[in-house]
A and B are shown apart, each in its own frame.
Chain A
Amino acid sequence: MNNENIRLTKLRNKLIKEILNQIPYSHLNGHPTKRLPNNANFWFKGIEGESIVIHLDLLGIATSTGSACSSEKLEPSYVLLATGLRPEQAHGSLRLSLGKWTTEKEINYVLKVLPKIIKNLREISPFKD
């Protein structure tokens, strides 16, 4: 179990570090280290979460968002709001969860495709600047 925690934490840290490095105006939600080893949660300026999730889904990557658009009540995640995010930031959130079967190859795949998805959605957005 402890080995698994170490493995997941290492993979998750790589994911967080690389996303923040490679994607401009990306932010980590929650504490950098005091979090579950399998959880990474971000928000991206100027774009909406459901669009990110569906683009990733089309590429075979299952993720989640706290955006209002993806909820039944059309309200953003109350957890993200409670951590101090504004609604427009919560709309642009993306949760990436790792599991027992997640491999480094898969992390690399996400890192390869995500920056382009964010870039394309920002080109469509009125808030690209």
Chain B
Amino acid sequence: MYTKKTMQCFKNPHNYGKIKNPSGIGKVGNIVCGDVMWIYIKIQKNKKQEIIKNIKFETFGCVAAIATSSVVTDLAKGKTIKQAFKINRENIVNFLGGLPLIKLHCSVLAIDALSEAIYDYLSKEKKEISKELQERHKKIMKEKMKLSSKTL
């Protein structure tokens, strides 16, 4: 059911753990539903660019949730925040050589966690946030609210 690559990423995930004093944190998912992903980023500023110097994740979830967390952190590491924002769920799924249909939402969750970490960084720094990122943040927040009202 899972590809060889997915199993490798699950058995030996990269970049798990916390970052002390992160530049941004993205927290998505809901423990009642069974998937929670937290992504921490540390940003290094050059003259022109902001680079994701370090990135780590903490995930409560299944094989797909752990594997997609590992992949998204690998894909985003060393990228500028603009490049990282362009990573999409197809990139993750392709990297893994596919995911079972019922597990595709895990790749969405990984992208959401990364976007939220970038959003958190930009809003803390009081920087301009692109319309696209604002929209994505709003959508994630709306889903969070919907889930928490459902589970109360």
Q: Are the CB atoms of B31 and A127 closer together than 8 Å?
A: yes
Out of B16, B32, B59, B63, name the residue touching A50 (CB < 8 Å): B63
Binds B, one of A2-10, A68-76, A96-104: A68-76
Q: What are 21 A-B residue pairs whose CB atoms fall within 8 Å in the complex?
A: A48-B34, A48-B65, A51-B10, A51-B61, A51-B66, A54-B7, A68-B33, A69-B62, A69-B65, A72-B102, A76-B34, A86-B32, A87-B32, A88-B32, A124-B16, A124-B57, A125-B58, A126-B58, A126-B59, A127-B31, A127-B60
Tell me the A residues contacting B by CB distance below 8 Å: 46-48, 50-51, 54-55, 58, 67-70, 72, 74, 76, 86-88, 91, 123-127
Q: What residue in chain B is nearest A89 (Cβ atoms)? A: B31
**In the bound complex, do residue B60 and residue A47 qualify as a contact, i.e. CB atoms below 8 Å apart?**
yes
Choose one: A58, A124, A127; the contact of B66 (CB below 8 Å): A124
- B74 contacts the other chain (CB 8 A): no
Q: How far is the CA of A123 from the CA of B63 in the complex (A)?
A: 15
Which residues of B come within 8 Å of A, CB atoms? 2, 7, 10-11, 13, 16-17, 27, 31-36, 38, 57-66, 102, 151
Determine chain A's interface SS by DSSP, over half rule.
Answer: helix
A51 to B79, CA, bound (A): 30
